[in-house]
């Protein structure tokens, strides 16, 4: 079934948006969007969270593909992974484009006085 593949894409997108749906994680993202990879301790320093809480948030972002990490010595450095962001962005572009199209069709429809389909 092509339905299955479709459903997988949907699930993945949902997980990306879900990962973005949290203040703390958006803040982390803002810090990482500066480009520099940062350790858990460093990311924790700027917030009121415990290190373990931050670790969990980073886990959510990682599983959603928004971020990825590499171990360097005793540190675990996290960096932004823009592919997921770009995917989410293009999805929203698509939705709003479809909506615009629908609006334009409706407007034309009304102006032309048509009533067929």
Partner DNA sequence: TGAACACGCAACAAAACGGTTGCCCTTCTT
Partner DNA sequence: AAGAAGGGCAACCGTTTTGTTGCGTGTTCA
> What is the rounded CA–CA span in Å between residue 72 and residue 42?
14
82: contact with a second copy by CB under 8 A: yes
> If you ran DSSP here, which 8-state letter would residue 22 be given?
S
| Span interacting with DNA, options 18-26, 81-89, 92-100, 107-115, rule CB under 7 A | 18-26
Among a second copy, DNA, none, what does residue 73 contact (CB within 5–8 Å per kind)? DNA
* Closest to 55 measured CA to CA, from 32, 24, 95, 83: 24
Neighbours of 84 (CB within 10 A): 21
| Span interacting with DNA, options 5-13, 29-37, 52-60, 97-105, rule CB under 7 A | 52-60
Q: Which of residues 73-112 bind DNA (CB under 7 A)?
A: 73-77
Contact 82, 67 (CB under 8 A): no
Among DNA, a second copy, none, what does residue 61 contact (CB within 5–8 Å per kind)? none
Of residues 45 and 108, the one with the C-beta less far from DNA: 45
Contact 80, 67 (CB under 8 A): yes
98: contact with a second copy by CB under 8 A: yes
């Amino acid at each position: 079934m092509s339905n299955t593949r479709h459903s997988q894409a949907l699930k993945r997108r949902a997980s990306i948006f879900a990962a973005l749906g949290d203040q703390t994680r958006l803040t982390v993202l803002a810090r990482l969007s500066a480009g520099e990879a940062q350790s858990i301790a460093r990311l924790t320093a700027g917030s009121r969270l415990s290190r373990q809480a931050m670790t969990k948030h980073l886990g959510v972002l990682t599983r959603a593909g928004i971020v990825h990490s590499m171990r360097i010595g005793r540190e675990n450095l996290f960096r932004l992974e823009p592919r997921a962001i770009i995917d989410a962005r293009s999805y929203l572009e698509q939705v709003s484009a479809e909506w615009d199209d629908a609006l334009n069709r409706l407007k034309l429809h009304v102006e032309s006085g048509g009533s067929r389909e």
